[in-house]
């Protein structure tokens, strides 16, 4: 049995082949022993390749020989695999991994280089959620955000140009959380969470489009655990990328790219 493991700061992602089918699994990194026990109990003398920030910590807990692969190399392998299976056309693109933070890379075939990144990402969503609403569980965050509106909290261009025609679309955000001075006391939790997603999504999309423009391309591939079940974040990132004249691709199962790439390297 071959298995690829991406031991990240928030999640441990696992990819393996069972009955000729790619199987994917994730567990919280803070419960690393749970991942260790799963490997021990599920797989008999496996071939393992590990990557990610907690790879060495994981390797010390597993009684198996294992291969290591640099995280971005594994991620690129996994992304190329997922893109080929989703019938995406070949060519250069900017790869944006929105995990706890956000890392931005340029990919063109076998060539890949890190362009930059931002500390704004999934960790920001959960951190601000905890500060503003007390919610720190990701699934609760997703469920509680449903139906949220941003007009009460975010300052939109239309608010500034009230009564006149703005020179740019009125729905654009002039300032995330910039309308707080006039916020009524009964703003629902869903609105706060929606505004948090807006801040993160617009920041990530803006940085990504600027990075793509530096390379003279428009195609941007988004992956990462922050998109898991988070339709609002997908919508914000996709729409804002298009608005900034980028071409967004949000890969299904993109959060498993590192684990898939580790598996493919065996």
Catalytic residue among 31, 71, 89, 152: 71
Q: Which of 199, 194, 249 is nearest to 224 (CA)?
A: 249
Element (H, E) at 193: helix 189-214
Distance CA 105, CA 116 (A): 7
Distance CA 73, CA 95 (A): 12
**252: its two tokens:** 């299904």
Phi and psi (nearest 5°) for 68?
-110, 150
Please tell me what DSSP assigns to residue 99. S
CA 109 to chain centre: 22
Is residue 65 flagged as an active site residue? no
Element (H, E) at 117: strand 111-118
* Residue 227 near residue 233, CB atoms below 8 Å: yes
Tell me the catalytic residues.
71
């Amino acid at each position: 049995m071959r298995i690829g493991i991406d031991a990240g700061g928030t999640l441990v992602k696992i990819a393996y082949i069972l009955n000729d089918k790619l199987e994917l699994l994730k567990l919280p990194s803070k419960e690393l022993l749970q991942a260790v026990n799963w490997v021990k109990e599920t797989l008999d003398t496996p071939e393992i390749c590990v990557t990610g920030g907690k790879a060495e910590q994981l390797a010390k807990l597993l009684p198996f020989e294992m291969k290591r692969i640099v995280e971005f190399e594994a991620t690129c392998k996994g992304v190329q695999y997922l893109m080929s299976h989703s019938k995406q056309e070949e060519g250069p693109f900017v790869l944006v991994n929105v995990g706890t933070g956000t890392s931005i890379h340029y990919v063109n075939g076998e060539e890949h280089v890190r362009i930059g990144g931002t500390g704004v990402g999934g960790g920001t969503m959960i951190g601000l959620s905890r500060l503003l609403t007390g919610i720190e569980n990701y699934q609760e965050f997703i469920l509680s955000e449903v139906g949220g509106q941003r007009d009460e909290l975010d300052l939109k261009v239309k608010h500034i140009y009230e009564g006149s025609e703005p020179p740019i679309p009125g729905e654009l955000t002039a300032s995330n959380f910039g309308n707080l001075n006039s916020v009524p006391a009964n703003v629902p939790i869903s609105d706060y969470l929606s505004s948090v997603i807006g801040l993160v999504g617009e920041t990530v999309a803006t940085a990504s489009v600027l990075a793509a423009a530096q390379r003279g391309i428009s195609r941007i591939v988004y992956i990462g655990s922050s998109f898991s079940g988070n339709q609002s974040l997908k919508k914000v990132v996709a729409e804002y990328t298009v608005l900034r004249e980028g071409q967004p691709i949000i890969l299904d199962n993109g959060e498993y790219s590192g684990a898939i790439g580790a598996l493919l390297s065996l």
